[in-house]
Structure 1
């Protein structure tokens, strides 16, 4: 298969997988436990960023963040910028310092979740003077974060499988 055709097919699979995860994430009642649903596009973007270059990571992070902004009703660009920067950082970190494995994927997803939830808390709750901020953290942000981190290994292995369909490990 020609390199250009393979690259186009790879991007189609990445985008379709991202859209399927987005649809699963936003489907009411699907994967819901005690009123909490995981964020599926975040671990996919972070895990795929670990396998790809920083340019691909930026595009995937921007797509995932944009989809998340659309579904969460937040200002368009809030999640996009944060997730894009985190994905680029993850890509560069794995490229130059860290190994590519499940432990690092969990660590980088956890770090991205913490960064995102911190900015979400500051700009959407604390800044506007919501009452009972500890309840927001304990009953809204923390359960979503833990649930998202719990599904990260599944998404990591899915991402790894997709990546190695298009990249031969012997070439690297």
Structure 2
């Protein structure tokens, strides 16, 4: 680990700006994909929001989750803000889980994404179909909601690979502050 210089701080700001621009370009591309085609398509914004939340701070995760949720509401014709609240909560939870307990591994990301997408599909089914007690409403969950969930989980593999590529080149490296460097140097000398 090295101490940040002024030039490195400038490079860090530029890389961070480029990374967030690429994140939001992916979000808009996913929005375009979600608004075209048939009923049976993945909700790509869910794994994208979770993937962004895993690698960033809590505030960026919350804003990204809310933004992606609003776009899902627009795409699916849901109550405006419904998916935004759900996705914001799950992005914050994912961020905290990865920050405190989990390692940044593919299997952990897949589990969190699968659980989030399933809960979102289940809540959509409960609030938009089952609550009105339509006839044969269970078929909607089996034939539509679970199929969309499966497509979403499968698409999360590709989303993970894209985000991994972006983060590999543009994620900031860990640096020491001056105090940490001095304390590390003193501790190293005391061990000798």
Structure 2 length as normaliser, TM-score? 0.81
Cross-structure match for 2:135: 131
Alignment counterpart, residue 23 of structure 2, candidates 14, 23, 38: 14
Distance 1:135 1:110, change over 3 A: same
Q: How does 1:20-31 map to 2 (within 5 A)?
A: 20-28=29-37
Say how many residue pairs are matched: 167
Distance 1:7 1:93 in 2: 23
Consecutive unaligned residues in structure 2, runs of 5 or more: 1-6, 177-192
Q: Give the CA RMSD over aligned residues.
A: 1.8
Distance 1:75 1:121 in 2: 14
Larger Rg: 2
Cα deviation for residue 10 of structure 1 reads 2.5
Distance 1:100 1:36 in 2: 30
Q: Per the alignment, in what secondary structure is the counterpart of residue 46 of structure 1?
A: helix
Cα deviation for residue 169 of structure 1 reads 4.4
Cα deviation for residue 121 of structure 1 reads 1.4
Q: How does 1:2-81 map to 2 (within 5 A)?
A: 2=10, 3-28=12-37, 36-81=40-85
Cross-structure match for 2:181: none
Distance 1:88 1:24 in 2: 25
Structure 1 length as normaliser, TM-score? 0.90
